[in-house]
């Protein structure tokens, strides 16, 4: 499967991946969820919260950990200090979507940040763009046609700007809680069907950022609770991973989804055992979440010390796992030799 790619996009893709073509990226574009986590931690500690804590937390994490990652994912709204603090050799992926969704409008519809564009973000240093979309393949056409059109506009704009697109899909079903057994049973097909849709050429997506096609809490033997309910066996989970991989026609990476660090590592090893052709990770809370309470209670010095030891170890452990499980992003097209580099004239 050969692939045409412009010279500028190729240079940016190479900056986002390590020298083996694996994307070992750190995600810290959380906005509303990080605010809530810091508010909870300050309340528990009997302290006052202010927004500077969010800006500073992001800056400190990125200043310490970015040099161990091939790229970092940040938002400019709350991560403007972090963007300046990142290692210059590390690629920068910038969020293009507004955080959250309007709960009063059915369908969890996506919205772009109104004062941003692909070109503006490139001028601010972005090597790639990212949007998140909530998607249920079984929703009505009225809802999903809006999301498909949104994805096409995003991909087409970025294609014109010659900047790589990361497209994050988070599945849901409003009938069930996201952590319920009922949703766990649905999730594999929702994730796989989402891959089948957004891997299509019409969207011009360069890298799909996908969930694991299961909820680890419902894999038999993965739950320490002897009375815990299960939705699938470990062999089922491996099959879902293979089905997801088989559906892909372009590179994809796994998000961490807020699971504990050891669970995320176990999930990635399972993907390796299943010979899944994924190209890396964008790991967020699984890498840095434990630092939130430390920052609130011990300040910058305490967080920095934790990041330089456990935080760094979390990243290096992931990098080690990826070195034996992940595949270069260009392998989906048959290897580097199958990429046809196109040089566009300057406008």
Output 258 or 62, whichever has higher pLDDT.
62
Query: What tokens does 209 get?
Result: 């950022």
Residue 301 pLDDT: 98
* β 71-74/91-95 pair status: parallel
Predicted confidence (pLDDT) per residue in 246-293, tens digit: 999 999 999 999 899 999 999 999 999 999 999 999 999 999 999 999
Q: Calculate the average pLDDT of the chain.
A: 95
Average pLDDT over residues 16-32: 97
The answer to whether residue 118 scores a pLDDT higher than 90 is yes
Are 311 and 288 in contact, with CB atoms under 8 Å apart? yes
Report the distance separating Cα 35 and Cα 90, nearest Å. Answer: 25
Residue 59 lies in a domain: yes
Are 267 and 240 in contact, with CB atoms under 8 Å apart? no
What CATH number is associated with residue 311?
3.20.20.70
Q: 């400019």: which residue's tokens?
A: 76
Residue 325 pLDDT: 98
Distances (CA, A) of 245 to 17, 77, 199, 255, 277: 20, 34, 11, 15, 6
Count of structural domains within the chain: 1
Report the distance separating Cα 281 and Cα 329, nearest Å. Answer: 11
Report the distance separating Cα 315 and Cα 287, nearest Å. Answer: 7
The answer to whether residue 347 scores a pLDDT higher than 70 is no
Report the distance separating Cα 170 and Cα 211, nearest Å. Answer: 7
**Helix runs in the chain, H state only:** 7-16, 32-44, 52-65, 76-85, 118-123, 141-161, 181-198, 234-247, 261-273, 285-288, 291-306, 312-325
Cβ burial, residue 324 (10 Å; 0-12/13-18/19+): exposed
Are 204 and 158 in contact, with CB atoms under 8 Å apart? yes
| DSSP secondary structure letters along 216-260 | GGGBTTT-S-TT---SB-HHHHHHHHHHHHHH-SS-EEEE-TT--
Residue 347 lies in a domain: no
Residue 257 lies in a domain: yes
Predicted confidence (pLDDT) per residue in 206-247, tens digit: 999 999 999 999 999 998 665 678 999 999 999 999 999 999
Cross-strand pairs, 133: 169
Residue 131 pLDDT: 97
Residue 346 pLDDT: 63
Residue 344 pLDDT: 79
The answer to whether residue 1 scores a pLDDT higher than 60 is no
Output 113 or 1, whichever has higher pLDDT.
113
Predicted confidence (pLDDT) per residue in 135-189, tens digit: 999 999 999 999 999 999 999 999 999 999 999 999 999 999 999 999 999 999 9
Residue count of the chain, please give it.
Answer: 347
Per-residue DSSP letter, 97: B
Query: Structural domain of residue 118, as residue ranges?
Result: 3-342
pTM for the predicted model, two decimal places: 0.95
Residue 253 pLDDT: 98
Residues 6+ apart with CB under 8 A from 131: 95, 96, 97, 110, 112, 150, 151, 154, 165, 166, 167, 168
Q: What are phi and psi of 178, to 5 degrees?
A: -65, -20
Residue 274 lies in a domain: yes
Report the distance separating Cα 195 and Cα 169, nearest Å. Answer: 8
Residue 223 pLDDT: 81
2 confidence band (pLDDT: 50, 70, 90) = low
Report the distance separating Cα 131 and Cα 148, nearest Å. Answer: 13
Question: Residue 282: which H helix or E strand, with range?
Answer: strand 280-283
Residue 228 pLDDT: 77
């Amino acid at each position: 499967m050969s692939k045409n790619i412009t010279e500028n996009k190729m240079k940016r893709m190479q900056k986002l991946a390590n020298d083996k073509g694996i994307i070992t990226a750190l995600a810290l574009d959380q906005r509303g969820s990080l605010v809530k986590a810091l508010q909870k931690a300050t309340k528990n500690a009997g302290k006052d919260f202010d927004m500077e804590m969010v800006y500073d937390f992001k800056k400190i994490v990125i200043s310490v950990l970015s040099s161990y990652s091939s790229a970092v994912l940040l938002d400019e709204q709350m991560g403007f200090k972090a963007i300046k603090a990142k290692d210059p050799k590390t690629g920068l992926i910038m969020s293009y979507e507004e955080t959250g969704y309007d709960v009063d409008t059915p369908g969890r519809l996506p919205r772009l940040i109104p004062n941003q564009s692909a070109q503006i973000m490139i001028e601010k240093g972005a090597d790639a763009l990212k949007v998140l979309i909530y998607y249920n393949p079984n929703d009505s056409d009225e809802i999903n046609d809006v999301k498909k059109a949104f994805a096409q506009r995003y991909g087409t704009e970025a294609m014109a700007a010659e900047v790589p697109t990361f497209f994050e899909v988070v599945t849901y079903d409003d009938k069930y809680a996201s952590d319920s057994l009922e949703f766990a049973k649905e999730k594999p097909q929702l994730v796989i069907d989402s891959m089948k849709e957004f891997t299509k050429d019409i969207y011009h997506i360069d890298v799909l950022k996908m969930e694991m096609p299961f909820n680890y809490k419902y894999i038999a033997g993965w739950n320490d609770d002897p009375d815990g309910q299960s939705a699938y066996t470990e062999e089922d989970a491996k099959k879902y991973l293979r089905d997801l991989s088989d559906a892909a026609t372009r590179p994809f990476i796994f998000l961490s989804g807020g699971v504990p660090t050891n669970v995320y590592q176990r999930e990635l090893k399972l993907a390796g055992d299943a010979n899944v052709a994924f190209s890396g990770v964008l790991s967020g809370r699984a890498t840095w979440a434990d630092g939130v309470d430390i920052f609130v209670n011990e300040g910058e010095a305490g967080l920095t010390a934790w990041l330089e030891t456990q935080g760094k170890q979390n990243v290096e452990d992931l990098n080690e796992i990826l070195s034996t499980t992940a595949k270069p992003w260009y392998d989906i097209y048959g290897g580097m030799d199958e990429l046809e580099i196109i040089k566009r004239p300057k406008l």
